Amino acid sequence: MARVKYWRRRRDPEFFYVLFIFLIEYLRIFRLECQAGFMLHPFKLNHSMLKNGLVGLVLAISALGSVSYASDIQPAEAQTFPLGASSAAADIRPLTEFVRTLKTFSADFVQQQVNVRGQKQPASSGHFVLARPGRFFWAYEKPYVQKLIANEGVLWVYDPDLAQVTRSPLADNRGAPIGIFLGNQPLQEAFDVSSIGKNDGLNWYSLKDRSAKSDFNQVQIGMDAKGIKAMVFTDKLDNRTTVQFSQREVNQKVDDSLFQFVPPKGVDVVNSR
């Protein structure tokens, strides 16, 4: 289950700056109201008027506290992987054997990006099919449509909304998150693999690119009895991309036509090197 942060006082400078400006503005308005009341009813600026003003001030501060509290609550469905290891590190063989015997892999996915400040981008979802070696079909369906097709060393990226296709060498751009499994070489040859423990029913593994040429500092993979369930990519700026899989099928027959791509008529084709 997702962890919920309990209420705490905010100590960041931006919060106190907003609070200070808010209080100054409130006191200014209260002073004007008092002046207006005094002009209409001289000598009637009594205890009741001051009490009402102070009560309003306390309610205003409480409202700001409520905003701080609400911003610190994560919705239950917004689960973040991994949640932190809850058991000792284990053997890496479940992952390495899964990859070694992997022929095809297909699933639905939900992808979420979170920047270094903890700000979440809108989640995207779709479907993918992987066939080793060197072929995949990765289709974003919501909130936008985009297709990535890899075959014969070429990566095609098709954006229907832009009427544009980008063609680039696959070796220079692995494209979709699942692209790290395209090759037939053992996983340990390309990555430094380690087990980082178990949590939420998943065994977690850490992968670090041995060549140091990757855009990611680390890839974390969560597995259950059926195989890969989640992946977390952390880039060199500490931004994080989480991908969760459902409706998984492993080593089943796939439609080879998905990997064949011909740019539609009328679209712009951009060759990237």
The pLDDT confidence band at residue 147, using thresholds 50, 70 and 90, is very high
The pLDDT confidence band at residue 99, using thresholds 50, 70 and 90, is very high
pLDDT digits (tens, 9 = 90+) for 200-245: 889 999 998 887 777 788 899 999 999 999 999 998 889 999 999 9
Question: Phi, psi at residue 100, to the nearest 5°?
Answer: -60, -40
The pLDDT confidence band at residue 3, using thresholds 50, 70 and 90, is very low
d(CA 158, CA 201): 36
| Predicted local distance difference test score (pLDDT) of residue 89 | 54
Q: Which long-range contacts (CB under 8 A, 24 or more apart) does 18-23 make?
A: 18/64, 19/61, 19/64, 22/60, 22/64, 23/57, 23/60, 23/61
d(CA 134, CA 174): 10
CATH entry 2.50.20.10 includes domain 93-271: yes
pTM reported for the whole predicted model: 0.66
190: left (phi over 0), alpha (psi -120 to 50) or beta: alpha
Q: Looking at residues 87-104, what average pLDDT do you find?
A: 84
pLDDT digits (tens, 9 = 90+) for 169-181: 886 445 556 777 8
The residue ranges of every structural domain in the chain are 13-71, 93-271
* C-alpha dihedral, 258 to 129 to 243 to 269, nearest 10°: -20
pLDDT digits (tens, 9 = 90+) for 24-67: 454 454 444 444 443 333 333 444 443 444 334 444 434 434 33
- Higher-confidence residue of 185 and 70: namely 185
- Higher-confidence residue of 269 and 74: namely 269
Q: Which residue has the tokens 């090759």?
A: 183
pLDDT digits (tens, 9 = 90+) for 153-164: 899 999 999 999
